[in-house]
């Protein structure tokens, strides 16, 4: 499976992952102290929806476009507003643009917060640097995320998010993520980690969830959206995110958002939401 960002910008998976990112950043900003965001597979940061890659798939029409066609109820509209208002402004331009996770993180953080964006693909890395040429609070690093990440942890701020959105080009991507998380948690066990993954076959997803559940995080939240009533391994049936050490009450935000997104993105009688805890220690 090739999930290079430019081909899928603004699709249903982007909508889910970027709303989750938005809610985590909003919760982190509730405290005045600075925090750090590390995006391990950053892509280019900004995507032209009229470019060849986006035109070839047109996936944004069944993603971000549906949010415009079927607006959410007031509670959900409030929760997604920081993301959606940014999208509206960029998509109103000519050509229309969609913000990737780096652009969203830069827009939603403050002067005291710091951002590190990692990208392995040389062409995408060059574009990413071009999109963030000004400002001392953003650092772009080219190279393999799992080789770079240990040197970035723990961050000086001791507070923040590691956002993990791999392209899933390798057969053993789930194992690579689990091993990378294990090493990262040894260096920074109190950080928030948010991992996106595709849902094709459930066997490997469940195996991944079981392995992540054993990591030394106090709380681990699992959030998934399945689009089809009948799953087939030859297509993207849905996607999910696992969040280690999520901000308090993030699960309540995602329940409201998920109840809106599941029927919005449903195909062939599907549209199923999963939101549960792999590990839940009550906050004292």
What's the pLDDT at 234?
A: 86
Query: Could you tell me the two tokens for 224?
Result: 């998934």
**Is residue 274 exposed (0-12), middle (13-18) or buried (19+ Cβ within 10 Å)?**
middle
What is the pTM for the complete model shown? 0.95
pLDDT classification of 283: cutoffs 50, 70, 90 = low
pLDDT averaged over every residue in the chain: 94
Please tell me which residue, 135 or 114, carries the higher pLDDT value: 114
* 123 cis-preceded (ω within 30 degrees of 0): no
Catalytic residue among 14, 165, 251, 253: 165
What's the pLDDT at 46?
A: 95
Q: Tens of pLDDT along 23-74?
A: 999 999 999 999 999 999 999 999 999 998 888 889 999 999 999 999 999 9
Q: Tens of pLDDT along 154-190?
A: 999 999 999 999 989 888 999 999 999 999 999 999 9
Asked about 276 being catalytic, the answer comes back as no
- Structural domains of the chain, ranges and CATH numbers in brackets: 5-279 (3.40.50.150)
What's the pLDDT at 1?
A: 43
pLDDT classification of 136: cutoffs 50, 70, 90 = confident
Q: Tens of pLDDT along 201-231?
A: 899 999 999 999 999 999 999 999 999 988 8
Q: Tens of pLDDT along 259-270?
A: 999 999 999 988
Residue 93 CB partners (closer than 8 Å, separation 6+): none
């Amino acid at each position: 499976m090739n999930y290079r960002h430019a081909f899928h910008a603004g699709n249903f998976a982007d909508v889910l992952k970027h709303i989750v990112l938005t809610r985590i950043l909003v919760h982190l900003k509730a405290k005045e102290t600075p925090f750090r965001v590390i995006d391990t597979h950053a892509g280019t940061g900004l995507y032209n929806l009229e470019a060849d890659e986006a035109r070839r798939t047109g996936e944004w029409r069944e993603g971000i476009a549906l949010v415009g066609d079927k607006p959410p109820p007031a509670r959900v509209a409030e929760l997604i507003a920081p993301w959606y208002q940014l999208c509206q402004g960029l998509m109103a331009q000519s050509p229309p643009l969609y913000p990737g996770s780096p652009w969203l993180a830069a827009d939603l953080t403050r002067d005291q917060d710091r951002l590190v964006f990692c990208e392995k693909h040389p062409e995408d890395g060059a574009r990413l640097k071009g999109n963030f040429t000004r400002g001392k609070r953003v650092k772009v690093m080219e190279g393999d995320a799992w080789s770079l990440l240990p040197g970035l942890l723990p961050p000086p701020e001791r507070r923040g998010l590691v956002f993990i959105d791999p392209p899933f080009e390798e057969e053993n991507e789930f194992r690579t993520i689990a091993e990378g998380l294990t090493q990262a948690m040894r260096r920074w066990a109190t950080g928030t980690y948010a991992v996106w993954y595709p849902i094709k076959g459930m066997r490997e997803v469940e195996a991944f969830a079981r392995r992540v559940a054993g990591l030394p995080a106090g709380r681990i939240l699992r959030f998934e959206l399945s689009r089809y009533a009948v799953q087939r391994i030859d297509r993207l049936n849905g996607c999910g995110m696992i969040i280690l050490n999520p901000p308090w009450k993030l699960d309540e935000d995602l329940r409201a958002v998920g109840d809106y997104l599941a029927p919005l993105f449903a195909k062939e009688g599907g549209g199923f939401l999963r939101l549960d805890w792999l590990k839940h220690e009550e906050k004292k």
